[in-house]
Every structure is written in C-alpha cells, then in structure tokens.
Amino acid sequence: MRQSRVGVAILTMGNRPEELTALLDSVAAQDLLATRIVVVANGAPAPPLPDGVTVVELAENAGVTGGRNVALARLREFGDVDVVVDLDDDGLLISQDVFSRLVAAFEQDPKLGIVSFRIADELNRTQRRHVPRLRASDPMRGGYVTTFLGGGHGLSMKMLDQVGGWPDEFFYAHEETDLAWRALDAGWQVLYEPRLVLQHPWTAPTRHAFYHRMIARNRVWLAKRHLPAVLVPTYLGVWTALTILRSRSLSGLRSWFAGFAEGVRTPCGPRRPMRWRTVWRMTTLGRPPVI
C-alpha cells in the first residue's frame, strides 16, 4: 500500500521572513518529506524562499480562508497530495516525526478527516484557548473533538473533496469550526493529538484590530449556516451572555455587538443545517452545538 503524501500550505504577509525560514527548515527536517510545499503571500511580496517551494503572490489580502483556499487549489493542481498540513508562518515543528505520525493516524482510521496539533510556546505552555474542547485544564489529553486549531493541523484531501474547502466569506475567525462541523456532519472524525506540536509564540487574540467584530460576525454566520433553526437563538444567546460576562473592554464589547449585527443582516453563503444525529454526536463528544 502506498504511503500517504503530504502537502504543506503556509500563509505569509511577508513580515516574518526569519520565522518563515525557520519553519521551512523544520519542514525540510521531517523524517517524512513533504511532497509539495506551497507558500501564499497574502497581499504582500513573498520573501526569498528555498528551491522547491511553490510561491503564489496575491495582490490583495484574501484573509486566512481565501489564502488557504488558494493554497489548496494549487495543491490540487499537482494531484499528488493526500494530506494537507496548514502551518502558521511564525510556527515551528520542533520534532522531526510530526508528518510521519500524522500520516500514520490517517492511515489507521479511514474516517479521520482532521487532526489538530497542540500549539505550545517555547516553554511548552499551551494557552487555554488552544485546547479544542471545553475541559481545557490538561492540554495533553487528546481525543476526538468538534473543532480544531488553525495554526497547525492536517486535513484529509478526501474529506476536503467531499465537504469543500474553507468558507471564503469568513476571512478570519471560526473558519476551523465551520469546516469541522461540515466534516462531522458528513461522518468524518476530528482528532486532537497533543503529541503533534507546533511551537508558536504566546499571543493574545486581540492583537488583531478587528478581532471582536470578526468573532461576533462569524459566530452568527456559523449558526445561520449550520445549526437547526431551533438551536440558533440558544447558541447565539449563550455566546452573547458569555461575551458580556467575560468582557473587560467597553470598546471591545461595542465592536462585538457591531459584528453581531453585521452577521445578522449580511449573507454568509448557503445554509445547510446539520442533522440531529450530528448534534447528538457532538453532544457525546462533550460539546453540544449550543456553546
């Protein structure tokens, strides 16, 4: 049986050339070499890159979703990739067996569609928001989950062929959950595997100026696109209450509600509500789609 082939997709805005070089070096050091490596320069010129790296330069920033879809389209054109690995350009693979372990996981489970890496800083600390389940006190506890981490993950090309790529409309925020929900509804598994590590600097999500607006808008879009109608107000009500309770910034809260209103009034792509069987499955995995 032929071993699955890995294609790597990396987005960059050209402002982290040293980090990108280090990441590509760590990709080249894997014991299972990537068949293809695509770097998408998202609205900026690409820095000098090693031979063998395919570069796609976009005139405008297409966001995380648009940039990843461009990379995915390029990998599809090659026609020799079974597993797509998305990596943040300021991340680092600190072990040389990440790709071989990843491929082994996919080959052992034909219904495995998504594998989420653990994201840890240089001190091996994992932020709570980087554990893709509600009980996040132990980041080393892996298992099947209902979403995954955008900074480092592997995707089955067969799964992508069935459920589609990234939601272009989202630009940034909750795009992983959108893809995960579609995969789960199609019968695929999503696995959090903490032994697969992407080293990444400790950061705050609010470093993005439009964080609060995008988080709220895309939360509404998630509900409109994927939830049974009866669950939409419950899901949005729970997240509104949590946001108010957690907020420490009045300006951030105003931006959040502006994004919420934008999500309500604007289109978000086709509506395909998940089956109730999927709702129950997500509930048994520890995260019903109301929180």
Domain of residue 250 covers 206-284
The per-residue pLDDT for range 68-77, each reduced to its tens digit, is 999 999 999 9
Per-residue model confidence (pLDDT) at position 207: 53
Please tell me the pTM assigned to this model.
Answer: 0.96
Residue pointed to by tokens 């419950």 = 234
Per the CB < 8 A criterion, the answer to whether 215 and 177 are in contact is no
CATH code at position 16: 3.90.550.10
Residue 36 sits in the same domain as residue 164:
yes
**Could you tell me what percent of the chain has a pLDDT over 70?**
98
In a domain, 290, yes or no: no
Burial class (CB in 10 A: 0-12, 13-18, 19+), 121: middle
Per-residue model confidence (pLDDT) at position 19: 97
Per the CB < 8 A criterion, the answer to whether 28 and 72 are in contact is no
Q: What's the CA gap between 107 and 103, in Å, rounded?
A: 6
Residue 157 sits in the same domain as residue 74:
yes
In a domain, 1, yes or no: no
Provide the domain count of the chain: 2
Per-residue model confidence (pLDDT) at position 60: 96
Per-residue model confidence (pLDDT) at position 291: 87
Residue 157 sits in the same domain as residue 120:
yes
Residue 170 sits in the same domain as residue 74:
yes
pLDDT tens for the chain, residues 1 to 291: 688 999 999 999 999 999 999 999 999 999 999 999 999 999 999 999 999 999 999 999 999 999 999 999 999 999 999 999 999 999 999 999 999 999 999 999 999 999 999 999 999 999 999 999 988 889 999 999 999 999 999 999 999 999 999 999 999 999 999 999 999 999 999 999 999 999 999 987 765 558 999 999 999 999 999 999 999 999 999 999 999 998 888 998 999 999 999 999 999 999 999 999 999 999 999 999 998
Nearest Cα neighbor of 290 from 249, 236, 248 is 236
Residue 139 sits in the same domain as residue 49:
yes
Per-residue model confidence (pLDDT) at position 102: 98
In a domain, 291, yes or no: no
The per-residue pLDDT for range 266-286, each reduced to its tens digit, is 999 999 999 999 999 999 999
Q: What's the CA gap between 262 and 206, in Å, rounded?
A: 19
Per-residue model confidence (pLDDT) at position 274: 98
